[in-house]
Amino acid sequence: MGILSGNPENEPMHYGEVFATWSFLAAANGMVAGNQKHLNHAGDEDLQKLLEEAIQAGKQEIAQIETLLKDNGIGLPPSLPEPPKANLDEIPDGARFQDMEIAATLGTQNAAGLVACSQIIGESIREDIAMMFGQFHTQKAILGAKVLKLTKDKGWLIPPPLLKNKTEE
């Protein structure tokens, strides 16, 4: 039997795994709170559904990572309180995030989460941690595709300069 080849849950986490999971948890706490605030500003029903999906996925990630860290005797980062619900009609126009902005932020944050998951998968030596972040990565890839489709369907996507094929000219 090789080194660290028993039950992964009985193996110690290395410092990189500790830092990466703790940092991911801190960011996830912020993302859930931010998405909850964006939900207060979102007027589009399809966008609201995606925000709710992102919030639920984030809460599930938080619960799994908190369990992992607690089981390994690692303190948790502070979490943010759930923001109060707001009435969309009471938010002044100039102070309100527009749906297009919210969708762009959701897509950008999701993409950053994909990169973070990939990095944690790559540096993990515990299979259970790598598999957990593989699961998160898959969920984020699916959400990212939904956000992309929504932004295209609603006309909210602002593409970068597009390269034209020289043979077309």
Domain boundaries, the chain: 12-82+98-156
pLDDT given for residue 154 in this prediction: 98
Cβ of 169: how many Cβ atoms within 10 Å? Answer: 5
Helix 15-41 to helix 127-154 angle (10° resolution) is 30
CA torsion 61→66→68→73, rounded to 10°? 160
Sequence-ordered list of residues with C-beta below 8 angstroms from that of 53, at least 6 positions apart, any chain: 143, 146
Q: What is the mean pLDDT of the chain?
A: 93
Which superfamily does CATH assign the domain made up of 12-82+98-156 to?
A: Ferritin, core subunit, four-helix bundle (1.20.1260.10)
Residue corresponding to tokens 């973070």 = 116
d(CA 132, CA 56): 16
pLDDT given for residue 1 in this prediction: 45
How confident is the model over 102-113, as pLDDT tens digits?
A: 999 999 999 999
How confident is the model over 60-96, as pLDDT tens digits?
A: 999 999 999 999 999 999 988 989 999 999 999 889 9
- Report the Cα–Cα distance between both ends of the chain, in Å, rounded: 64
Q: Mark the ranges of the chain whose per-residue pLDDT is less than 70.
A: 1-7, 167-169
- 53, 106 in Cβ contact below 8 A? no
Q: Supply the DSSP symbol for 155.
A: T
Regarding pTM above 0.85, the answer is yes
- Closest Cα partner for 13 from 111, 133, 109? 133
